[in-house]
Amino acid sequence: MIHKKMEEAINKQINAEMYSAYLYLAMAAYFEANDQPGFASWMKVQYQEELTHSLKFFNYVHERGGKVVLTAIEAPQQTWDSPLHAFEETLKHEEYVTSLINDLVDTAIEVRDHTTNSFLQWYLDEQVEEEATASNILAQLKMLRESKDSLYLLDKELGLRVFVDATQEK
């Protein structure tokens, strides 16, 4: 049976992952409105990933005999100044999520829940990827500046991303 404090902390994280999904879906809408279908498609894949992150926590709480409590998801920001701005915010957000996962590990250690600590290692690894990907796209956007031709090519490239449910792989 999962420790109450751990259960509450994971329930909060389920909400945080749903918020991440919502944020990236809002970014997808922003890019759709901006006529950048590749960026929009990339964000929709990101949205799908976040849903699986949330669901992995959801399933885990039940596996450990706990109870999932779903709470209201905060409305995300709806618009950004540019693709560069959106990816600055993406990286900032992922760094924040990494700090949340670190807090969960702290809680697992505090309540001596070694099983949850082990479970959370998947998320720690995932956050390394999440930050690296956002940082890489941000670096490209900084190089391109506002060059319309280059943005067009990057849009095409980002549109190639396909959703893979990594929670089923590792």
CB of 20 vs ligand OFO, minimal distance in Å: 3
Give whichever of 30 and 53 is closer to ligand OFO, judged by the CB atom. Answer: 53
DSSP per-residue letters across 8-62: HHHHHHHHHHHHHHHHHHHHHHHHHHTT-HHHHHHHHHHHHHHHHHHHHHHHHHH
CB of 100 vs ligand OFO, minimal distance in Å: 9
d(C-alpha 143, C-alpha 150), whole Å: 10
Binding site for ligand OFO (CB under 6 A): 17, 20, 50, 53, 94, 97, 130
CB of 19 vs ligand OFO, minimal distance in Å: 8
Nearest to 24 by CA among 111, 86, 88, 113: 86
CB of 63 vs ligand OFO, minimal distance in Å: 19
Give whichever of 113 and 130 is closer to ligand OFO, judged by the CB atom. Answer: 130
Give whichever of 97 and 120 is closer to ligand OFO, judged by the CB atom. Answer: 97
